[in-house]
Amino acid sequence: MARTHFDWDPDKDAENQRKHGFSFLRAQHAFADRQRVIARDITHSQTEERFYCFGKVDGGVLTVRFTYRAPVIRIIGAGYWRKGKVIYERENQIHR
């Protein structure tokens, strides 16, 4: 059985670190949050299905945009965005 692992474009990772101050290596930790929320990214899913993971990392709610190519989670972008925090808090309040 193949185990899920993470992958990303190194140039996109460097760009994300410059723009949002967050590495894709660190972004993986959002998926380890037991209360993480996964949602479809309907705006950017033209050629393949894309998703968001909202999970706590370093005390804040990180939004990670990704695609799933079994067994690989390919990270596309990550950052602390207010909208992600709102979704995370709303979904976790419902499930308490």
Other C-beta atoms closer than 10 Å to the C-beta of 38 total: 14
- C-alpha gyration radius of the chain: 13
Considering its fold, how many domains does the chain have in total? 1
For residue 47, the model assigns a pLDDT of 83
Pairing verdict, β 60-69 and 50-57: antiparallel
The domain spanning residue 35 has which CATH number? 3.10.450.530
One pLDDT digit (tens) per residue for the chain, 96 residues = 568 899 999 999 999 999 999 999 999 999 999 999 999 998 876 788 999 999 999 999 999 999 998 899 999 999 999 999 999 999 998 665
For residue 51 the two structure tokens come to 């998703």
Range of the domain at 47: 5-94
Question: Can you spell out the DSSP letters for 27-73?
Answer: HGGGGG-TT-EEEE-STT-SSS-EEEEEEEETTEEEEEEEEEETTEE
Residue identified by tokens 């670190």 is 17
